[in-house]
Amino acid sequence: MQPTVCLSFDFDAISLWLARGMNSPTPVSRGEFCAVGAVRVLDLLERLDLPSTWFIPGHTITSYPAVCDQVVQAGHEIGHHGWTHVAPNNMSREEEEAGLVRASECIQRLTGRMPQGYRSPSWDLSPHTVELLIAHGFDYDSSMMGHDYVPYRIRQGDVFEIDQPARFGTPGRLLELPVSWSLDDYPHFEFVRAGNTILPGLMNASGVLENWVEDFLYLKESVGAGVITYTFHPFVIGRGHRMRMLERLLRRLLDEGAQFKPMHEVAAHYRDATSAR
Ligand SMILES: [Zn+2]
């Protein structure tokens, strides 16, 4: 597949802050800004005629139905992002499966079809997630980091113990469209103070733009075929200077010959090109 770009937007809104126990008015308002940012992003994607994939928690779908419907009407793919924004690894198997089913039903009501893709909140799968995604008919996950440019089949049956060599399982049916914190707007830009920890964020947007362009150019010039997946959050990227940077990024990628695809199309391509055992 010629150098391909996936634009993914995690529409967390208020759910991200609630999942962290931050439910006072200011963090909630920070989540509310997601709806403002989402409309700005949709406008930009429409002007440039670009497809994208939106991972939306059930909490956002039921709290902001009109904006979510706008995303669907614009033709973007809707992926699963949990019902709450609690990471699967912090839930029991039963809680995880119940949230999976509840959010899938929300997405089906919104789009008329079940989601094909899943992205875990906070990119932290549980030991049960892959098995549950397969059992519930998902085609791909986008939460892991085992490659930078090449989607791959997720192994099942891995055993990792600290005092033993890794024992790798066998690739299964579920495809991984890998991600990276370096290609995610959140750690670069978002200032978060929680307890004794501070995520500084607030990076200069031009510096981040340079990193993100260089990652695409390495794919194009040194790897050749492959996929780069950028992850954005409307409440992060929706601020003025970052929206201007995002437009510069997208125009540059277009100038460099990138083809843009929704993630389910990329998953279908790699499903045909790789075999599961
Ligand atoms: Zn999220």
pLDDT tens, position by position, 202-249? 999 999 999 999 999 999 999 999 999 999 999 999 999 999 999 999
| Ligand 1 mean position, distance from CA 178 (Å) | 15
202-214 pLDDT per residue, tens: 999 999 999 999 9
CA of 214 to the centre of ligand 1 (A): 25
Q: How far is CA 118 from CA 102, 180, 216, 273, in A?
A: 14, 16, 24, 20
If you measure from the C-alpha of residue 201 to the centroid of ligand 1, how many angstroms do you get, rounded to a whole number? 17
Q: Ligand 1 centroid to 120 CA: how many Å? A: 7
Res 277 pLDDT > 90: no
Per residue in 77-86, pLDDT tens?
999 999 999 9
For the chain, give the secondary structure using H, E and C.
CCCEEEEEEECCCHHHHHHCCCCCHHHHHHHHHHHHHHHHHHHHHHHHCCCCEEEECHHHHHHCHHHHHHHHHCCCEEEECCCCCCCHHHCCHHHHHHHHHHHHHHHHHHHCCCCCEECCHHHCCCCCHHHHHHHCCCCEECCCCCCCCCCEEEEECCECCCCCCCECCEEEEEEECCCCHHHEHHHHHCCEEECCEEECCCCCHHHHHHHHHHHHHHHHHHHCCCEEEEEECHHHHCCHHHHHHHHHHHHHHHHCCCEECCHHHHHHHHHHHCCCC
Distance 13 CA to ligand 1 centre (A): 9
**CA–CA dist 185, 171 (Å, integer):** 30
Q: Could you tell me the distance, in angstroms and rounded to a whole number, from the CA of residue 165 to the centre of ligand 1? A: 33
Q: What is the CA 202 to chain-centroid distance, rounded?
A: 21
**Contacts of residue 70, Cβ cutoff 8 Å, sequence gap at least 6:** 38, 39, 42
Is-contact 45 243, C-beta < 8 A?
no
Ligand 1 center to residue 48 CA distance, Å? 25
Average pLDDT, the chain: 95
Q: Could you count the other beta carbons within 10 Å of the beta carbon of residue 190?
A: 18
Distance of CA 148 from the midpoint of ligand 1 (Å): 20
- Centre of ligand 1 to C-alpha 81, Å, is 7
Q: Using the mean position of ligand 1's atoms as its centre, give its distance from the Cα of residue 61 in Å.
A: 13
153 alpha carbon – ligand 1 mean position (Å):
23
Distance of CA 233 from the midpoint of ligand 1 (Å): 8
- pLDDT tens digits for range 131-152: 999 999 999 999 999 999 999 9
Ligand 1 centroid to Cα of residue 195, in Å, is 20
- Over residues 38-60, mean pLDDT: 98
Distance from residue 55's CA to the centre of ligand 1 (Å): 8
The confidence score (pLDDT) of residue 6 equals 98
pLDDT at 276: 52
* 16 CA distance to ligand 1 middle (Å): 6
Tell me how far apart the alpha carbons of residues 40 and 178 are, in angstroms, rounded to a whole number.
26
Instruction: Count CB neighbours of 77 within 10 A.
Output: 22
- Any bridge partners for residue 55, and if so which? 10, 79
At 130 the pLDDT is 97
Q: How far is the CA of 273 from the centre of ligand 1 (A)?
A: 29
What does the pLDDT average to over 18-40? 93
Reported pTM: 0.96
Q: Is the pLDDT of residue 57 over 70?
A: yes
